Each structure stands twice: as C-alpha cells, then as structure tokens.
Amino acid sequence: MSFDFYMPTKIYSGENALTSASGEFSGFKHAIIVTGKRSAKLCGALDDVTGMLDLLNVKYTLFDKIGENPLLSVCYEGGQTAITAGADLVIGIGGGSPLDAAKAIAAFGANSTLKEDEIFNASIKTMLPLILIPTTAGTGSEANNYSVLTLDIDNVKKTFKNDKSYAKAAILNPKYTYTLSYDYTMSTALDAFCHCIESYLSPKSTDISSMLALYGAKKIWNAFKAIKNRPDALSDTSDLAVRAIRADLMSAACAGGIAINTTGTGFPHPLGYSLTLYSNIPHGKACACFTGEYIKYNAKEELGNRKICNFAAHLETTPDEIAYVIPELAGISLSLSNEEIERYVNSVKNAANYTNSPYVINYEDMIDIYKRLFI
C-alpha cells in the first residue's frame, strides 16, 4: 500500500469560485497579474479579477506578455516588473503558459538577486504568494508545483519546481474555458488525458494519485465520446450538456495535474516537447501522438500490461482502442528527415521521464518511435 500524498493548494470550483475565494485576495497591497496577450480578457476572467481587487482596495499591475511555451527571459522581466511595482501577490490567469510563468515570476519577484538560470536551483527559499486561475482544461498547473519554461538560448524546455512553487489557491471556473476553440479544447484535454495515463503507469503512483488519474481519464474519455469529430459540439454555451462537459474537463484536468504532482509524467512528454518547439505542434497533441507507442512498449512488462488493462477497464474500453483513438484525436501528420529525427530526439534524450514507466525506453527506441510515426 502507498497512501502518501501532498498538495497544499486550496481549490475553489464552480461558477461562484472567485467570490468564494475573495478572502484569498484580501490583505495584499499590490498584485501583479500575469496573462497571455488576449485570452484572459476575452474569457472575462481578467475583468472579474480586477473588479474584485478594486473592491478589496488591492492595487494591480498587468503583465500580459506571456506567449505559448513561456520564455525564461520574459518570466525574468515579469519578476523585475513585480519588484518595481512592489507586488506582494502574483495572480496567474490563462492556460498552462501564463500559470507556469506566474510561478517563475513569483520566484524572481521575491528574490531580487536571483539570476535567470538560477531559478532551476532547488534552494530558492521564498516566493511571492500565488493564486492561479486556469482558462484551459489541460495542464493542471494550478494544482502542482511544476513550471515548464523555455530556455531562450537552447530553445529547450526545462522544468522549475520547488517546495514553494505551489499556488496558495486555485480558482476553477469552467465558464472561463467557453471561449476556447474546439481545436485547443481537444488538444488541452489530450494533455490532461496523457497526465492521467502517464501518472497511473508511473512506478511512483500511489493509491491517491491512481484514484485521481482514473477519475480524470474517465471524464475526459466520456467527453471525447460526446464531442469527437463534432467541431460545433461546444459552441452553444447555454446548453446545460455543453456546460457539464466543460465542467467535467476542468475538474478532470485539475485531477490529472494533482496526479502528476505525485508521480511526474512518462516518455510522451519529453518526446512531445521537440514536436512543440521545432514543429509548432500544441503541447497536448504533441504528447498524445505518442500514447499508442507508450501503451505498446509498457504492455511488454507484466506490471505495465496489468496497469494498462486496469486503466482501460475503468474507462470501459480496451488498451487497443485507447492506443488507436488518442493518437487519432491528436491528428498529427508530419514528415521528418532522418537528420531532423536525430535532432528532435537528441534534444530530449537526457530527460528524467524515461525511467518513470514500467518499460524504460532507450535511445534506439526513441529513434524507432519517431521513425514509425513520422517517416
């Protein structure tokens, strides 16, 4: 038995989540609000938050420069902006990119002498308090301590995390995902599904992380059955069935985020990072295209096969169907040369994730997988 568990973020959920969480914002003098360029405004979350800060007499500075796959240099700039403004609170609103960036800004904003690359040093002792508000249902970043950043020089992803990089509160209002396109909804849901299956198979999984992984995976699988190949399936947001799907995806993504907080992710994640950075494939699709290979390799191990069968049975399906449907939903058609494949694999070959599954893939396996999928 393993019943170990730690996740210190208080989660508020539902259409009144922000009001319920108002106490989390009070008592602060100045917040820095970290967002992407458009979506926090478009979905209404930014107006809701600034309205609440005005009521509570908390001043704020908007830092809306976070792009997809957030650059370390931009997070550093955000930290300096927080220091100049005298910020004592960081509020992240957006998909995984602004939420991960908010964690880094909370570290730079509390440590004026911290240099850019020193953020990956685990001994950071203080960070500004953080509140995270997701507007995608995918990464679960609001409920874990990972901050996936992109290094400006090497164009590779590197994860920052420490004991302090958890939000004190996460606010889950599915309404904020209503403006997300069908394509991004599918991609972010695929990311969450990958978190669930990769966490469930991880040797570090516990009874609690496994429960969360199964909870999330089942909700997402059922949502896929309802909306697959129907690009207009989510457009009528007055329809209660559509709202229920949005709410299910949001709680499922958060569950996946908590599950990987215990376990980490498996090999689809690092292999997918190269597709995102070099071929511009969104993160969720980039990971999900490897799910079939992930199932196939892990089924070679007795423990892996048993876990995959349990996982599929919980979803009332078969391992083969998951291995077919998830990459099919990712829908990536990409053609790479042998040289490109070597470059894509070499840049992620040393990731720690490879040992985090019953079957441990080696360099040749990685090349074979890339060749099977992309030549």
What is the x/- site pattern for ligand NAP, positions 314-353, by CB under 6 A? ----------------------------------------
Interaction residues for ligand NAP, span 7-36 (CB under 6 A): 36
Q: Where are the alpha helices (DSSP H) in the chain?
A: 17-20, 22-25, 39-42, 45-55, 72-85, 96-110, 182-201, 207-227, 240-263, 268-279, 283-288, 291-298, 302-314, 319-330, 338-346, 363-374
Query: How near is the Cβ of 148 to ligand NAP at its closest, in Å?
Result: 4
C-alpha to C-alpha distance for 332 and 317, rounded to whole angstroms: 23
The structure tokens listed for 322 are 């998951």
DSSP string, 51-94: HHHHHTT-EEEEE----SS-BHHHHHHHHHHHHHHT-SEEEEEE
Determine which residue in the list 188, 209, 298, 356 makes contact with ligand NAP, applying CB under 6 A: 188
Residues 6+ apart with CB under 8 A from 120: 158, 160
Contact stretch for Fe ion (CB under 5 A) within 168-176, 186-194, 225-233, 249-257? 186-194
Facing residues of 244 across strands?
Answer: none
Among Fe ion, ligand NAP, none, the one that 136 touches (CB under a kind-dependent 5 to 8 A) is ligand NAP
Q: For ligand NAP, which is the closer residue by CB, 38 or 372? A: 38
C-alpha to C-alpha distance for 199 and 167, rounded to whole angstroms: 21
Facing residues of 130 across strands?
Answer: 90
Nearest to 98 by CA among 142, 154, 58: 142
Among ligand NAP, Fe ion, none, the one that 68 touches (CB under a kind-dependent 5 to 8 A) is ligand NAP
Contact stretch for ligand NAP (CB under 6 A) within 174-182, 205-213, 309-317, 349-357? 174-182
Query: Is there binding between residue 202 and ligand NAP (CB under 6 A)?
Result: no
Classify residue 189 by its DSSP letter. Answer: H
Contact stretch for ligand NAP (CB under 6 A) within 172-180, 214-222, 231-239, 338-346? 172-180
Q: For ligand NAP, which is the closer residue by CB, 27 or 51? A: 51
Q: How far, in whole angstroms, is CA 225 from its chain's centroid?
A: 22
Query: How near is the Cβ of 258 to ligand NAP at its closest, in Å?
Result: 10
Among ligand NAP, Fe ion, none, the one that 146 touches (CB under a kind-dependent 5 to 8 A) is ligand NAP
Determine which residue in the list 24, 191, 248, 293 makes contact with ligand NAP, applying CB under 6 A: 191
Q: For ligand NAP, which is the closer residue by CB, 189 or 336? A: 189
Interaction residues for ligand NAP, span 264-293 (CB under 6 A): 283-284
Interaction residues for ligand NAP, span 110-169 (CB under 6 A): 135-136, 138-141, 144, 146, 148, 157
Q: For ligand NAP, which is the closer residue by CB, 42 or 208? A: 42
Query: How near is the Cβ of 72 to ligand NAP at its closest, in Å?
Result: 12
Q: How far, in whole angstroms, is CA 295 from its chain's centroid?
A: 21
Residue 80: how many other CB atoms lie within 10 Å: 13
Is residue 85 a contact partner of residue 114, using CB atoms and an 8 Å limit? no
Contact stretch for Fe ion (CB under 5 A) within 187-195, 206-214, 216-224, 246-254? 187-195
C-alpha to C-alpha distance for 300 and 279, rounded to whole angstroms: 30
Query: Is there binding between residue 191 and Fe ion (CB under 5 A)?
Result: yes
Contact stretch for Fe ion (CB under 5 A) within 36-44, 98-106, 184-192, 356-364? 184-192
Q: How far is CA 253 from CA 86, 180, 285, in A?
A: 33, 15, 15
Interaction residues for ligand NAP, span 58-117 (CB under 6 A): 68-69, 94-98, 100
Q: For Fe ion, which is the closer residue by CB, 25 or 166? A: 166
C-alpha to C-alpha distance for 235 and 15, rounded to whole angstroms: 18
Point out which residues bind Fe ion (CB under 5 A): 191
Point out which residues bind ligand NAP (CB under 6 A): 36-39, 42-43, 68-69, 94-98, 100, 135-136, 138-141, 144, 146, 148, 157, 176-177, 179-180, 184, 188, 191, 257, 283-284
